[in-house]
Structure 1
Amino acid sequence: MHSLFYDRARDIDDALALIAQPGARFIGGGTNLLDLYKSGVDIPERIVDITRLPLAAIAALPDGGLSIGALASNTAAANHPEVRMRYPMLAEALLAGASAQLRNMATVGGNLMQRTRCFYFVDAAFPRCNKRVPGSGCGAKDGINRQHAILGASDACIAVNPSDMAVALAALDATVVVKSKEDERRIPIDDFHRLPGDEPQRDTTLEPGELIVAVELPPSPFAANSHYLKLRDRASYAFALVSVAAALELDEGVAKTVRIVLGGVAHKPWRAREAEAQLTGKPLSDDALNAAAAAALAGARGYGYNDFKIELAQRAIVRALRTAGERA
């Protein structure tokens, strides 16, 4: 039987001291870590319970933005009046994820840290997974890869990031605030998650001993004119085949500012900058929308079972932008 030590952090300093011990993991809602522990994928020596830390507040920032504490539940964040009014795309993304029971337990910080649901990673019976056992190979590349990446993948890994929330945060230019024993740093959301490269076992740019304390959203001229579209095999409790976070600032029908971020297609939320540039300065005509969607998927590559995702993503971009345009 595996011995597992449990500590409850009294405050942030105590949490940072406890996490420095070998084999320690933070635990908030536990909706992902406990699954991985039970399946033998991630076996910590010690868990550090941070649920009593004062990190659940959602509050306005002096610059007009919004701070969401790392321990705010997904339900609390999705239903907060300021989120629903000023950042509706984020509320839509949060409510599209998992079930109501899981949203009640899951935290904003934990959502950012959740690991891929690639079959070859979450089932320890599969011997080949570079993310779980570096150097063992990628079983998905020539296996059942319907759910897998079409953008940003590498020979080492074609898994996708499962978060809905992170896709919306990427479109909103969010910042992740983290603390360590030495200092506090602020990580732009686009730099928080990694592409797999040769180290797919590293999901984020967090350093050992760092704790997410908040996510900050800047004031935005386009956040209210947005839409989160999630396409999946069933209407509830399923991860995205493709998702799109789209936001627009329009000036007399012409796109002045554009944000397009894809989910379910890469190891991290995929910011479609080529598509944004293609659409900026143009009206939302069918030709302009289709050209932007084509630009977003220009470098896409399927692996057999997931080839359909390329066309699906293009259609999803057009649909999400049309909905965002109607709101604008």
Structure 2
Amino acid sequence: MMPFTYQRVVDTRAALMAAAVAPTATYISGGTNLLDLMKLGIEQPTHLIDISRLPLDAIEATADGGLRIGAQVRNSSLAADQRIRSDYPVLAQALLSGASAQIRNKASTAGNLLQRTRCYYFYDRNTPCNKRVPGSGCSALNGFNRMHAVLGSSDACIAVHPSDMAVAMLVLDAMVEVMDTGGVTRQIPIGDLHRLPGTTPNIETGLTPGEMITAVILPPPQRGRQLYRKVRDRASYAFALVSVAVVVDVERDTIVRARLALGGVAAKPWRAPEAETHLIGETVSAEVFEGAADIALTNAVGRGGNDFKIPLAKRTIQYALAAASERG
């Protein structure tokens, strides 16, 4: 591990000032991903700013009836909150399907959003990886790519984003609140937080240097039934091969509102607006769900080892839509 300095801060302004002074600094909270990357020499920050004790660990009601989730709220606490379980069950389901109980007890809301890919080649410094070393190549293109992206990828990178929580927050239309080193706050739609790889897969988010996530804001509870379905190799502590988050509102067997997001298939949580449009106004049926699944995967491209993800994603979408459309 490379030498680094460490600083613990207790207020947000001090954290931002520290980041402004040390441009190569990195924020650390739970550290469940960052510390592994540092041990492997993939992340090499010269200065760590410990923000785990910032007063950002509350879940508060907003004026319009939504919720403001502080960046330091632990995944386990968020999943257990009664307001999340009753009004945003898709989020609770996603959180409980991610990682192990021990990791959920440590992982923070902001850290979950900003975790990096679990691509084998990204973690192996002996292989080329454009995300780790820009311009070096992508070993996954012609390598073992079973876990990799079928949507939104490029010839520079086919890695996927591993978060379950982010997929659920995307289907809920969450906003991410961030603050820059000058103390200026802005909100980013969660769908715009992460970037597709294009030719610069090493640039993973739209955050500016030193900018820090302070909260995630959920809109007021949405009508309809919510469901998160995750398909993985084993029942616990495994990343998604494919995951699907849906919100479906049905009146008299007619779909009046639909939201659909996918995980495990792209470099960012993937929304399927065309499939949503296809569903609205249709009578609940297997044929309608199959059509939506086909639309959601229209532009999917397999790379050999991950070809199976395309039909798997379609089947998972159909299952999730059917289950969420059932009458209570």
Specify if TM > 0.5: yes
The aligned amino acid for 1:88 is P
Q: Distance in 1 between matches of 2:244 and 2:301?
A: 18
The aligned amino acid for 1:257 is R
Show structure 1 runs of 4+ deviating over 2 A.
none
> What displacement does 1:19 show?
1.4
Does the CA-based 8 Å contact 2:115-2:163 persist in structure 1? Answer: yes
| 1:104-143 Cα shifts (integer Å, max 9, x gaps) | 00000000000000001012122x1000000000000000
User: Which residue of 1 is the match for residue 209 of structure 2?
Assistant: 208
> What displacement does 1:186 show?
0.1
| 1:49-101 Cα shifts (integer Å, max 9, x gaps) | 00111000001111000111000000000000000000000000000000000
User: Which residue of 1 is the match for residue 105 of structure 2?
Assistant: 104
> What displacement does 1:4 show?
1.2
Which sits farther off after the overlay, 156-165 or 117-126? 117-126
So what's the TM-score if we normalise by structure 1? 0.98
Q: Distance in 2 between matches of 1:302 and 1:30?
A: 33
Q: Distance in 2 between matches of 1:220 and 1:294?
A: 28
Structure 1 residue 281 corresponds to structure 2 residue 281: yes
Alignment of 1:182-201 (within 5 A): 182=182, 183-201=184-202
Q: Distance in 1 between matches of 2:217 and 2:319?
A: 28
Q: How many residues align?
A: 326
Does the CA-based 8 Å contact 1:192-1:204 persist in structure 2? Answer: yes
User: Which residue of 2 is the match for residue 317 of structure 1?
Assistant: 317
User: Which residue of 2 is the match for residue 80 of structure 1?
Assistant: 81
> What displacement does 1:244 show?
0.1
> What displacement does 1:327 show?
5.8
User: Which residue of 2 is the match for residue 55 of structure 1?
Assistant: 56
The aligned amino acid for 1:51 is S
The aligned amino acid for 1:159 is A
Does the CA-based 8 Å contact 2:23-2:210 persist in structure 1? Answer: no
Q: Distance in 2 between matches of 1:2 and 1:78?
A: 35
Q: Distance in 1 between matches of 2:121 and 2:137?
A: 10
User: Which residue of 2 is the match for residue 250 of structure 1?
Assistant: 250
Q: Distance in 1 between matches of 2:237 and 2:152?
A: 26
| 1:247-270 Cα shifts (integer Å, max 9, x gaps) | 112221211111110000000011
CA distance 1:139–1:327, change in 2 (3 Å): farther
Q: Distance in 1 between matches of 2:272 and 2:2?
A: 44
Structure 1 residue 241 corresponds to structure 2 residue 241: yes
Does the CA-based 8 Å contact 1:22-1:45 persist in structure 2? Answer: no
Gaps of 5+ in 1: none
The aligned amino acid for 1:284 is V
Structure 1 residue 124 corresponds to structure 2 residue 125: yes
> What displacement does 1:9 show?
1.1
So what's the TM-score if we normalise by structure 2? 0.98
Does the CA-based 8 Å contact 1:226-1:327 persist in structure 2? Answer: no
User: Which residue of 1 is the match for residue 295 of structure 2?
Assistant: 295
User: Which residue of 2 is the match for residue 42 of structure 1?
Assistant: 43
Q: Distance in 2 between matches of 1:290 and 1:129?
A: 36
Q: Distance in 1 between matches of 2:189 and 2:259?
A: 15
User: Which residue of 2 is the match for residue 23 of structure 1?
Assistant: 24
Partner-residue secondary structure (3-state), 1:98: coil
User: Which residue of 2 is the match for residue 5 of structure 1?
Assistant: 5
User: Which residue of 1 is the match for residue 90 of structure 2?
Assistant: 89
Q: Distance in 2 between matches of 1:197 and 1:221?
A: 34
The percent identity for this pair of structures is 55
Gaps of 5+ in 2: none
Does the CA-based 8 Å contact 1:255-1:279 persist in structure 2? Answer: yes
The aligned amino acid for 1:124 is R
Partner-residue secondary structure (3-state), 1:26: strand
Q: Give the superposed CA RMSD.
A: 1.0
CA distance 1:327–1:25, change in 2 (3 Å): farther
Q: Distance in 1 between matches of 2:122 and 2:313?
A: 24
Which sits farther off after the overlay, 250-259 or 95-104? 250-259
User: Which residue of 2 is the match for residue 270 of structure 1?
Assistant: 270
